[in-house]
Amino acid sequence: MGDNKSSNVVWQDVALTRQDRERKNGHRGLIIWFTGLSGSGKSTLAQAVEARLHREDFHTYTLDGDNMRHGLCADLGFSNEDRIENIRRIGEVARLFVDGGNIVLAAFISPFASDRQKVRNLVDPGSFFEVHCNCSLEICESRDIKGLYRKARAGQIRDFTGISSPYEVPRNPELILDTGASTVETCVEQVFEAVRERVRLGEAMALRDANR
C-alpha cells in the first residue's frame, strides 16, 4: 500500500480474487519488465512479445514509456524525482493488471535499480520478470531514430539517460538479451520460452485447450 495524504480512505475488499481471474484466463498474471537505454529495443520487443503471447491466447497489455507520458504521466519531466514518480505510477498500474490475471509488458528505461525493485515488491514473488535489453551506448546512438541522443549531446535535452543521467544496469535480471546483436525474432522467442512455463496453470490450461 502507498502512503495516503488522506485519513478518510479505507481499503475496499473485492469479491473476486486474483486467483479467480487467473483461473478464468487460464494462466497466471505476470509483469514482464523491459529495461535498458533509449534505443535498446524495449518497445519494439515488448510489442512483438505481446503479439506472440496473444497468438497463444494469453491475456496481455503493453505499457510503453512514451505513451504513458502522454496521459497518466503527462505532468512529469525527466528529473530524478520525476523519473522515480513515473515508475511508481507505472508500477501501480502494472500491479492492477496482474491482479486482473493478465500478463503486462512494461517497456521503460527505468534507470534506477531501487525503482525497479519497488515495482518487484508490489507483486507476489515470481510475478515480476525483469528483462535487461543489453545494448551498448554506441549502438543505441547509431539507431537514434528520434534524434534524442543528438539533442542530448548538443545540450538540448537535460537529464538524458546514458549521456547526462546514469543508468544502473540490473544485477540479477531474470533474462538478459543481447539486443545489440540478436534479431527481434530471436529475442522474442527467448522471452516467450522463459515466461511460458511461469504462467501456466496446468489443469486450467488443459481445460481451456479442450474447450477450443
Provide DSSP, 86-144.
HHHHHHHHHHHHHHTT-EEEEE-----HHHHHHHHHHS-TTSEEEEEEE--HHHHHHT-
Instruction: Choose from 59-68, 108-117, 154-163 the range with maximum mean pLDDT.
Output: 108-117
Enter the pTM of the model. 0.86
The predicted model gives 97-107 an average pLDDT of: 95
Mean pLDDT of the chain: 88
What is the pLDDT at residue 10?
65
Active site residue 164: no
| Selected catalytic residue, list 110, 114, 127, 182 | 110
Domains defined for the chain, CATH in brackets: 21-207 (3.40.50.300)
Query: Is pLDDT at 73 greater than 60 in this prediction?
Result: yes
Q: Give backbone dihedrals phi and psi of 23, rounded to 5 degrees, phi first.
A: -65, -40
Grid cell, residue 38, equals 533509449
Higher pLDDT, 201 or 46: 46
